[in-house]
Structure 1
Amino acid sequence: MAWITLDVQLLVQTFLYAANIVLGLAVAVPLGITIGDFNGQCILYAHIDWNSLTFMTSNVVNCRFGIYVSVCFCVLYALGMIFYHVYLLTRNDPSIGSKMWVFPFIVVNSVVAFVTFISSCIISVGFKTFCDGFLKGREMGHIISSCADGEKFTWNADYRTHSFYTYLTVTQIATWSTLLVWVLLVIEGIIRFLRNRRQANAQATSDLKNFAASEPSA
C-alpha cells in the first residue's frame, strides 16, 4: 500500500503548486494595477505631504520586485512543476515516487521560499510605512479612522486612488500565503526524501540478506 501514499503525496504537491499559481497572480495583478493607477510609480514606502495632499512615491523596484518574484516562481516555475508532476502521475508506475528527483527541488523550493519571504517583507513593511504616514493626517485635523480612508481622499489629479488599499491588502495576504505554500512544499519534499532513503536502505538490506542466504553454485 506504500505506493498509494506516494501517489497521494504527488497529488498533494501538484495541488500546492496549483495553489501557488493562483496566489502568485493574486500578488502580481493587484500590485501591477496599483502601479498603473499611480502612473507607473510605487506607493510602498511612499511619503505623504499633507500640506499639498500629494504622494512622494518610492522607487518602483519596491513594487516590481514582488511582481517579478510572483510571476517567475509562483506562476512560471510552479506551472512547470505541475506539468512534471502530472507526467509522473500518469505513468502508472507504483514506484515512481522513489525514482523522481527530490533533493534538487528541496534546494530550489527552499531558495524560492527565502526570496518570497524577502518579497513579502518588502510589501508588508512598505505598505505599513505608507499607512503610518497616512494616519499622521490626524495630527493635521483630518478625520481618519484607518488607512482605507485614503481611497476617499482627492490626491494628485493624475492618480486613481479609489482601490489602492483593497489591492494592496489582497497582495499582502496573497504574498504571505505563497510563502506558507512554499514552506509546505519544502516539508513535503523532505518527507519524500527521507522516505525514499528509508526504502532504499531497506531494499539494500533485503538484497544483502538474500545474497548471503543464497547457496554457492558448484
Structure 2
Amino acid sequence: MTWLVKAAMALPWLLVLELGLYAGCFVCGIIAAASVTITQGQFAGKCMLYGTVHSNASTLSVQTFSSPSLCYFVSAISVCVAVYCFSITLYWIYTSCVDQEVRRERLWMNVTLVICGVFLFFLLVTGCILRIGRNRLCESIIHIPGISRCEDAQEKNWVSPYHGNRFFSSLHGAETSVWVNFFFWLLIAAAVVIQRRQGSGFRTGGEITDGSPSESEPFFHRPARPQ
C-alpha cells in the first residue's frame, strides 16, 4: 500500500483523478457484464432483452427471446472497457514506480481522446439497448393479471428451466453500471483535454516539461539599472 501511495504522489493530480476514474470504469464494466451474464444464466442462456412474457396458469413463461448475440454484445463492450481500464491503470502505476521520469506526450493524449470517443459511443449504444430492451420486456409483464410492476414478476413462479427471481434487479443493475461508466468516461475526456491544454508532457511530481521559455519570462522587461 505504501508504494501505491508514493506512486500516486509522484503523478500530477489530474492524472491521479483520471486513474481513479479508470478504476471506477473497471468496476462498472465488471458489474454490467456479470449482471447480463447472470440474467442469461437464469433463462438457459437466452437473452431476455426485447423479450415477451405471458402467463401460463399460475406460472410465467417466456414467449419470445431476442438473439443471444445482443446480450453478448453488451457483455463484450463492458468487458473490453474493464480490460482497458485495468491495463492503463497498471501501466501508469508501474511507470511511476519504476521510471524516474514520467512523460505523457501530446500524441498519446490525442490517442486517449479517440479511445474515449469510441468507448462513449459504444457505451451510449449499450445503455440504450439495455434501457429499451428492459422496457419492452416489462411492458409485456405488466399486462399480466396480478402484476402491476415489472419487479413483481421476480416473486412469481416460472416455467422450468427458467428462473426469473433476479432478472429485473440484474438488468437494472447492468443499465445503471453502463450509464455510470458513460459519465466517468465523460470526466476522463475532460481531464485529458485539460492536461492537453496545460502541456503535452510532464515529469514525475507534476512538473510540466514542454512549456516554452516565454511562459516563464515576465510580461514586462525591467530596464537595466545604470552602472
| TM-score range relative to shorter protein | 0.7 to 0.9
Say if 1:14 and 1:86, in contact at 8 Å, map to a contact too.
Answer: no
For 1:191 and 1:6, how far apart are their aligned partners in 2?
A: 15
Q: What does residue 106 of structure 1 align with?
A: 113
Q: What does residue 176 of structure 1 align with?
A: 179
Which of 162, 166, 169 does residue 166 from structure 1 map onto?
169
Letter of the structure 2 residue corresponding to residue 203 of structure 1: S
Letter of the structure 1 residue corresponding to residue 12 of structure 2: D
Structure that is richer in strand per residue? 2
Q: Superposition pairs for residues 123-134 of structure 1, below 5 Å?
A: 123-134=130-141
Q: What does residue 28 of structure 1 align with?
A: 33
Give the aligned CA root-mean-square deviation in angstroms.
2.7
For 1:62 and 1:117, how far apart are their aligned partners in 2?
A: 15
For 1:89 and 1:115, how far apart are their aligned partners in 2?
A: 31
Letter of the structure 2 residue corresponding to residue 54 of structure 1: S
Does residue 176 of structure 2 align to residue 190 of structure 1?
A: no
How many residue pairs get aligned? The number is: 200
Task: Give secondary structure in 2 for the equivalent of 1:49.
Answer: strand
**What's the offset of the Cα at 1:18?**
0.8
Q: What does residue 42 of structure 1 align with?
A: 47
Q: Deviations over 1:155-207 (max 9, x none)?
A: 2211011111111111111111111111111111111111116x788505469
For 1:68 and 1:201, how far apart are their aligned partners in 2?
A: 39
Q: Deviations over 1:63-119 (max 9, x none)?
A: 11110001112x1111111022213433454x7356782111111111111111101
Give the percent of matched residue pairs that are identical in Structure 1 and Structure 2.
24
Q: TM-score scaled to structure 1, two decimals? A: 0.82
Structure that is richer in helix per residue? 1
Q: TM-score scaled to structure 2, two decimals? A: 0.79
Does residue 136 of structure 2 align to residue 136 of structure 1?
A: no
Q: What does residue 203 of structure 2 align with?
A: none
Task: Give secondary structure in 2 for the equivalent of 1:50.
Answer: strand
Which of 63, 77, 98 does residue 71 from structure 2 map onto?
63
For 1:51 and 1:132, how far apart are their aligned partners in 2?
A: 17
